[in-house]
Amino acid sequence: MPELTRFAPSPTGWLHLGHAYAALFAHEQAARGRFLIRLEDIDGTRARTEYEEAIFEDLAWLGLNWETPVRRQSDHFDDYRAALAKLEALDVLYPCFCTRREIQDEIARAGNAPQGPDGPLYPGICRNRSAAERAERIAAGETYALRLDVAKGTKLVCSELFWTDRGRGRFKAQPAVFGDVVLARKDTPASYHLAVVVDDALQGITLVTRGEDLLEATHLHRLLQELLVLPVPEWHHHRLITDETGKRLAKRDDARSLRSLRAARWTPERVRKALL
């Protein structure tokens, strides 16, 4: 079946060899289908136009072509708000007033906090506040994030959820891996998990390709899709490109940025060979 795939970089740094691998991988999976680029720029404090321009320049240099217009997440907060409203209507969200500090202190106090892929899970401080307290604090102007009550959401779904990775087979979803995740941040009415699920559905992505560092996130995304009644794509989590010490490349790793390699007269063919 011809696939619709996407490469979804955040314009918060120069693309490096790891991004080139991810982009080429997605492009290749769509060989007889369609390929999109999506700019994941909801983090307004870190996203920059110059990085955005560089993304297009680097990808064109690599020989990729994509459909336009390119979806830019920061243009679509209304879509994320609509999804939040749906979840709110299901009563699976709650306002979280906690500061980072309060969360850390509670985790230290309780000891033995359950760990998720990104560190200790949110200890649930705001999960059971009364409706009256929530209303009062909101009315008083306190800022808050919206968290997903994962246990409640999972219960609502009733049946077990499954998802398929093209390279690794079928998984039974474990939506609680990240605990009660933030779906709308205090400063941004969305989060990575919410935006990616909404966008993949709105754009009709049939095969979500991304690095294996995001494999765990798929467990949660599967639950969000079910709660929001969205179509379920397939996934293909691919390997990550590492440096010679085995460490995965990071945005600050400027020496392996595609710009530096271009400046050092690498050709697109050489990049492709280096990624084999």
Q: Which residues are paired to 184 by β-bridges? A: 146
Give min distance, CB of 73 to ligand GLU, in A.
9
- Residue type (1 letter), 43: D
Give min distance, CB of 26 to ligand GLU, in A.
9
Give min distance, CB of 210 to ligand GLU, in A.
4
- Residue type (1 letter), 124: G
Give min distance, CB of 30 to ligand GLU, in A.
14
Give min distance, CB of 57 to ligand GLU, in A.
18
Given the structure tokens 């009550």, which residue do they identify? 149
Instruction: Give the number of other Cβ atoms within 10 Å of residue 117's Cβ.
Output: 12
Q: Of 156 and 214, which has the nearer Cβ to ligand GLU?
A: 214
Q: Pairing mode, if any, of strands 234-238 and 207-211?
A: parallel
Joined together, the tokens standing for residue 22 give 């991810």
Query: Using omega within 30 degrees of 0 as the cis cutoff, is the peptide bond preceding 69 cis?
Result: yes
Q: Of 27 and 210, which has the nearer Cβ to ligand GLU?
A: 210
- Residue type (1 letter), 177: V
27 — alpha (psi -120 to 50), left (phi > 0) or beta? alpha
Q: Of 105 and 165, which has the nearer Cβ to ligand GLU?
A: 165
Given the structure tokens 């798929």, which residue do they identify? 218
Closest residue to bound ligand GLU by CB? 210
Residues contributing to the site for ligand GLU (CB under 6 A): 8-10, 40, 196, 210, 214
Burial 221-250, CB ≥16 within 10 A → b, else e: bbbbbbbbebeebebbbbeebeeeeeeebe
Q: Of 9 and 268, which has the nearer Cβ to ligand GLU?
A: 9
Instruction: Give the number of other Cβ atoms within 10 Å of residue 156's Cβ.
Output: 14
Q: Of 56 and 144, which has the nearer Cβ to ligand GLU?
A: 56
Q: Of 198 and 227, which has the nearer Cβ to ligand GLU?
A: 198
Give min distance, CB of 9 to ligand GLU, in A.
5
Q: Of 12 and 174, which has the nearer Cβ to ligand GLU?
A: 12
Q: Element (H or E) spanning 123, and its range?
A: none
Joined together, the tokens standing for residue 8 give 């979804």
Give min distance, CB of 237 to ligand GLU, in A.
10
